[in-house]
């Protein structure tokens, strides 16, 4: 599992989407355009894209935590490189 691409949005407020990320879950599955959202308490959550009002995918809690940690790491690395 790895992050293929992280694109910061420039948003800085609470509950803002701070980045879009593309993820390779394994050799067979890739997900594009996941939203990394900063929560009011400073944590981040990763959300799958939506089709209308429905999410196109959901994740188990352990997988969501893993993906979010990878996404935050990639986001921070890109932000650091842009300075």
Helix (H) / strand (E) containing 20 = strand 17-24
Q: Output the furthest CA–CA distance in the chain (Å, rounded).
A: 36
The tokens 């690395």 sit on which residue?
77
User: What pLDDT does residue 1 have?
Assistant: 95
Mean pLDDT of 62-68: 96
Q: Domain residue spans in the chain? A: 2-82
Give the pLDDT confidence of 37-63 residue by residue, as tens digits. Answer: 999 998 999 999 999 999 899 999 999
Other CB atoms within 10 Å distance of the CB of residue 2: 10
Give the pLDDT confidence of 4-33 residue by residue, as tens digits. Answer: 999 999 877 777 899 999 999 999 999 999
User: What pLDDT does residue 5 have?
Assistant: 95
Contact 22, 32 (CB under 8 A): yes
């Amino acid at each position: 599992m790895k992050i293929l691409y992280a694109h910061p949005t420039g948003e800085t407020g609470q509950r803002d989407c701070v980045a879009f990320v593309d993820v390779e879950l394994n050799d067979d599955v890739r997900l594009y355009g996941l939203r990394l959202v900063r929560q009011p308490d400073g944590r981040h959550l990763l959300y799958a894209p939506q089709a209308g009002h429905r999410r196109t995918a959901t994740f188990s809690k352990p997988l969501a935590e893993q993906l979010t940690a990878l996404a935050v790491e990639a986001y921070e690395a890109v932000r650091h490189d842009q300075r």
